[in-house]
Chains A and B, each alone.
Chain A
Amino acid sequence: MAQDERPPRDDQTEAAWRQLRMAPGVPQWLDVPLLVEPVAPPVDRRKLLLRAYTEDGRPLGLCAVYTNEWYPGCTAPNPFSHYFPVLWYVLDARHRRGIRERLRLQVLKAVAARTTSGYLQTVLLKFIVAPEYTVTGSFVEQLYNCPLRVFFERFFGLSRDDREPPRRPGDVRGRAIHAGYRRALAEFARTGDVARAARAYRAAVWQEWTRTIQSLLGVRPGRDGGAPKDVLGSFGAAGSILEQIAAGQEPEAAAVELYLERLFYSERRGLSGRADRVELPRQPGLPVRVAEVKTRSAFAERDPLTGETFPGGMQALAYRELLQSLGFEAIDAVVELVENERVTALPLEQHPIVQRLRLNLSRRDERLIDLIAQARNVFYCVASGLFTGYDRYRLDQATQDWRLRHVVGQFDLLSERPPCHVCPARMRQVCTQSRDREGRALEGLFRFAPAPLFAYWVWFHRQLKAEEHAEWEHLFHLVHTPPAALEREGITLGDLRLAEQQERRVTFVRPERRLDTRIREDDTVLVTPQWPDGLLGRVPRPGELFSVQGRVLRVAEHEIEIELHDRVPLAPAGEEPCYRVDHLTGFDMRAWELEGLADFFVASMEAAPARGREIHWRELPPLSQTILGLRPPERPRTTTPLPSWAGVGLNAVQRQALAAALGLEAGELLLVQGPPGTGKTALIAALVHALVARALFDPARVPERRPVLVLTNTHRAADEVVHKIVEKHPEVLPFLVRVGNPREGMERHVRDQTLLHRAGLAEAVPPETDEEAIAALLAASQRAQVIHDHAAVFVATLGSAATPELRGLTFDTVIVDEAAQATEPAFLQALRRLPLGYRGRLVLVGDPNQLPPVVTAARAPVFWDDLRRLGLRPEDSLRTSAFERLQRLYPESCIRLSEQYRMNGPICELVSRVFYDGVLRPADERVAERRLAHWLDDHGAQGARGLLAQSPPVLYLDTSDDPLGRDSGATLAADDEGRANEREADLIAALLAEFLAGIPPERHERVVAEIGVISPYRRQNTLIRQRLERAQPTLARVRVDTVDRFQGSEREVIVVSLVNSNAEGAIGALHAEWRRLNVAISRARSLLVLVGDRRTFLADPLDPAEEEARERFRQLFAVVDALARRGEARILSTRGLYQAGGQA
């Protein structure tokens, strides 16, 4: 695998340290990483004494940091220096939080100073604090616009109130022109053909207008009834923009590689981002050009002389610095301003701050790095919460000065006043510093919050921030760790060769070594070429401009297929065409989770009747009190009479739940627990139907208040709700909107309910002429507006609850499906859609005995006694859903569905006795008597052979005595997901191949679609897939997945590979979450196959956290034994099974 060719960073650090001492008293530029720990808790506000180490822990000695970048012998201190205060706040916070790990600094400048007593003291002058926490260029820009806004938005998580109607989307025109410009430029650079560039421009503008419903709903005819100016302008700009593109492309300019929206990341500057466009010259010697494209609507610095604004200037400067830190020497950064249908290039030399400081951009200027470092460090300190912690007094104090004077900084370079017009803190009236000083500012927002509300916010906020930190550390780890080590962790694949590239779909192969990895289908990855780049002079690392992001389509034994955002570069002649693939973590949900949490906090406080004093929790809205565990909800009114048409086809318990939901008053909450297969979605569909019918006959209905919103944790569940409504209550469909754009894999009848589709735009290709495009847009917009105005039911995911389609709308009833799978902050999205004061109804449907929310942070959150009032326990975390907590608090307010329609009698009994106190039962005899043989007969798939075909409903293949059955251990070091068990994989492959062998080949596909294999370990699943494919090519289509991804699905046959089998009795963290077992075994309709070592699972717990899981496994095997005694299960030792002869 290609190695990093730069000298080891620790050697650089030691050399720099020595070099300092060679020239005492002379400040020197170092730019090396360092780990530090304070010698004593930071008390002195003038000096910090630190112990310094290299990154691998070699001690370097003591060093100091003084205020104002002073050092003994210094004659010109900088009174506006931010370095000391930021470091002081960071160290103080770490001390208070008991963080013992050393702090990482990228030391930019230091001096070996001679003290009055004559000894040499190393003094750090400039540094990046915790560079692993990268800040994007746009955040750097935001910090220079208003530091306080960073506090409100990036720390607190405040966003605009989506209950307020949206403003007209005036910036779409700019964005459309921007998109058109980018696409046309790329096309012209590729082909040199103006006509093709013009088509690309039109297509991009069209897409921008039709991409989001916000744009579409904002298209209003002009005064004369014709097309609006914004639409006309964006299409009409093509002429001048194409002229500019053609004129700008001089012959030598064609010799550039264009990189659009590429991710880049610098751990030396703590910066990351995506510049709109980077032009890399093919010939050395020419500068790299970075272009940031902006529209005038963005707020920006105003030039004191000309009055001109400069949007994106600081961002471009940050990206310039970032690229330089990566090793690109000459950088030419520019902002391209889209204005008046033209694109104007604004050189950074004209930026107000550049002019005020008289910066010379043609050479490296320390002051420029200072500026960027200042914004980056202050952003880190504030946004990470280290500046204020959760001290409510400090939090309020921080809001008293928009320049955050405690962190000092040269913010006198900023505008006179903050750019309040775009700020949510001003709109929500929580900022006391806003320019117009209007409105009823919530003074003492933090201090006056009732203790339970504040504790609630703190507890969740801190965990979301920890998640955020874990995400950044993952990226840093990728860049910072040798590829071979990453490969061992299972998150990187190296030495891959490009086998095929069709447009953006690529296949990489590695014939000489198996792809033993945790990377799987649908993962987001970065693909990085592994030959030395000419300009960089070395092999690029992930995130260094050359990486292309993509989504994994398939992982086979020796090849991986990926769909990329852009084409990968091809190796120049003479270079080995090697690539590496790195796993990026999943979709970032924390931003909107933080927003939901902040919204709950602010909306609860806003609804309080008084101002200017501590609010008592009784003054909060009733629903807030209920959520905080302070006010039990009313007992469910299950006897509310149902109209004759409501609840048709539901069982008795479902009808009770429906009655209770319909009987809710404003501000009330209902919990419905739905164990596997109990018809949760059917109940939701019936409830939606009843609520819509009721609302249609309500003469007092407010147009902005709609009857019902269904929110789910996943797109799959949202589609399922729509599907069920289509199936059971098609009369609701004219009033139903599936929020969001049509997605790949969406069923047709679900896609038909998206607004874009209903407006006739989902599959529309861009028209051939501008006139046609404009006419089509207007017509579609009018259709969309009518549909939107009459919609009564919206179905969305929790993550899209703040989507433009829902802006300005509130709902009488919000139903949250899969509520036990959503983190509590995610669930709070539901409250954002209730009317002010939460005067709406909330129905949570879920099952806390199934999988909890997925989170990454492993560390248990800090707990204190006040949290017990909220119904929290010390072992709780973000994995504890609101449903689980509320059910624990108010068990009498929860209705449990108990009749299930999925599992046959024996499987149901297994699940019921282990997880539901034996109350779960098949809904009727037909379900109870379901058998695999019946299903095979019904589908013409007779002839199945082997163990599966002859098995009773539960088959347990016990590997306890099988000498080959031991697991691999956690060989992939990243976390517990790296465990595998080859014997189990082989057994499963043989079992299924044998089963399929007797079935007519034309039925294979149908049968295979009804088989699922589940294991909690990604690595095991990859192994099973590979073995299945090898055993029988059709078996490659068997769905093999983790438990987490199987939730919500069901199959006739489910095979569960338990994997863990070892002498220590280690079951690992994944099995310690006992709910995973429930989900795994409750997916089966007719046949459940368990493969594993019961001895390992019945061993004594190694960790107290495993106790409950061990108990459930004990119960599981006990019930299997009992079923076996009745002939409803079979237990078979795997010793010698499918060996040698290949038969059982």
Chain B
Amino acid sequence: MAVRPVPEESSAAPSEQTADRAATEQLLAEVAARVEALRSRRFAGEDPVVEPTRVRRVADALREGAVAALTAERAGGLLRLDGALLAPAEDLVRDELDEAYRALAVWDLRAAAMALQRAARLARFPEHQQRIALGWALYRLVRDVLQSVPGEGDDRQKKERTLPSVRVVRELLARLDQLPPEERDFYAAEVDRLAAVWREAATDERAWCAWALLRARVAILRDQGTETALAWLLRLAQRAGLAERADDPDGLATLLRRARAVFALLAGAPADEEEELLAAEASPRDLFRALVATLTAAWGEDALALTHRFALALYVPQRSPSEEPEHGAG
């Protein structure tokens, strides 16, 4: 296909909304220099507050204010303005925290960790700092729920039949003094609930299968590799007694055969053309959907909905109707 060459010179005039490159670069260079100076003082052990330097002209004062605000925000520092100490990045922290908790609720550990790291760099409000700490503890809990196979693991885990992170969250909650008691109570109950669900999965077949379905679902959603998803789906099928079905009314047996062919190839077993074809056609999503359908039919309830029991519920402050913003306002 022919590619049109990039013109030597831009034909269109810049729109009104285009940033002024030179002025932007100049401002950013000032900010970078100020951030660098701040980092140097931090390196020596100080944690200085950013303050706009005094200037004579109003125009300069505006610019200086902007530079100082940007510096404080970039470096996660405090800004002194009119005698008050401000934390200019706190709105960003709030957004990051929202993202982190939402990510935890959908088992997106990587996104949660990144958002928590970004928030931790900037947070200055004590309640935000404690929500970050709680976020990390919940991150460990969700990771444990997801990655510790119920009924398996080391001796101690089996003996205590609980997840190590449960104690971490509980003990932390008791010392998060900046969070409202309702929020702490909510998460304490949530930790107990998740721990109970996970424990149940260690002994109850259906719960275990729901957990494995979740594991496979997360592997598919989070791009953890075809093989990971297929492995969990195969284990699930085995455990649910679906692996050896002779008839194939819903195509499940074929899908399982294709999945097995993938592992046979990986294990280096001699493969014929048919085997290779089967492996190439293996689809985690298809197998997942088929298993959900089969299990839903077998259990008489939505198998996918059962996986939701392993999800972390998020605390939402409850307000009385009078405190709720009026419908349509703001």
Contact = CB atoms under 8 A, between A and B. Distances in A.
A1077 B41 CA distance: 39
Interface string A591-628: 00000000000000000011111100000000000000
A402 interface: no
B49 to A, nearest CB: 11
Interface in B39-91: 39-47, 76
B129 A448 contact: yes
B171 to A, nearest CB: 5
B44 A440 contact: no
A1137 to B, nearest CB: 55
Contacts of B165: 437
Contacts of A97: 43-44
Interface in B131-174: 132-134, 136, 140, 164-165, 167-168, 171-172
Interface string A407-448: 000000000000000000000000010001111110110001
A758 interface: no
B176 interface: yes
A485 interface: no
Contact of A459 (B42, B45, B120): B45
A390 B47 CA distance: 10
A438 B45 contact: no
Contact of A613 (B42, B43, B76, B130): B130
Given A444-B133, A610-B176, A455 B168 contact: no
A611 B175 contact: yes
Contacts of A451: 47
Interface in A373-407: 389-394, 400
Contacts of B124: 614
B136 A609 contact: no
Contact of B164 (A96, A438, A613): A438
A491 to B, nearest CB: 33
Contact of A862 (B44, B120, B175): B44
Overall SS of chain B's interface: helix
B42 A392 contact: yes
Contacts of A438: 164, 167-168
B177 interface: yes
Given A437-B140, A438-B168, A439-B168, A393 B42 contact: yes
Contacts of A436: 164
B121 interface: yes
B46 A611 contact: no
Contact of B175 (A96, A432, A444, A610): A610
A556 interface: no
Nearest to A92: B43
A107 to B, nearest CB: 27
B285 to A, nearest CB: 32
B238 interface: no
Contacts of A394: 42-43
B133 A443 contact: yes
Interface in A88-130: 93, 96-97
Contacts of B203: none
Given A96-B40, A438-B164, A612-B134, A444 B129 contact: yes
Overall SS of chain A's interface: loop
A437 B165 CA distance: 7
B168 A96 contact: no
B178 interface: yes
Nearest to B75: A393
A393 B76 contact: yes
A613 B133 contact: yes
B126 interface: yes
Contacts of A612: 129-130, 132-134, 172, 175-176
B77 to A, nearest CB: 10
A864 B46 contact: yes
A93 B39 CA distance: 11
Contacts of A393: 42, 76, 121
A862 B167 CA distance: 43
Given A438-B167, A455-B45, A613-B130, A391 B172 contact: no
A913 interface: no
Contacts of B176: 610-612
Contacts of B168: 437-441
A766 B167 CA distance: 51
Contacts of A613: 126-127, 129-130, 133, 178
Given A393-B76, A438-B167, A611 B43 contact: no
Interface in A441-484: 441, 443-444, 448, 451, 454-455, 458-459, 462
A576 interface: no
A660 B76 CA distance: 48
Nearest to A610: B177
Contacts of B177: 609-610
Given A440-B168, A440-B172, A612-B176, A458 B130 contact: no
A119 to B, nearest CB: 30
Interface in B76-135: 76, 117, 120-121, 124, 126-127, 129-130, 132-134
Contacts of B43: 93, 96-97, 389-391, 394
A905 B117 CA distance: 70
Contact of A440 (B46, B175, B178): B175
Contact of A437 (B133, B164, B171): B164
A432 B172 CA distance: 13
B24 to A, nearest CB: 20
Contacts of B130: 610-613
Contacts of A439: 168
A773 to B, nearest CB: 39
Of A393, A438, A439, A862, chain B has the most CB atoms within 10 Å of the CB of A393
Of B39, B44, B76, B124, chain A has the most CB atoms within 10 Å of the CB of B44
A866 interface: yes
Nearest to A400: B117
A546 B8 CA distance: 73
Nearest to A43: B36
Contacts of A462: 45
A611 B137 CA distance: 12
Nearest to A386: B43
Contacts of A441: 168
A439 B43 CA distance: 30
16 contacts: A96-B39, A97-B44, A389-B43, A390-B44, A391-B42, A432-B136, A438-B164, A444-B129, A611-B130, A611-B133, A612-B132, A612-B133, A613-B130, A614-B124, A614-B126, A866-B46
Closest 7 CB pairs of A and B: A612-B133, A458-B45, A390-B45, A389-B43, A613-B129, A391-B42, A613-B126
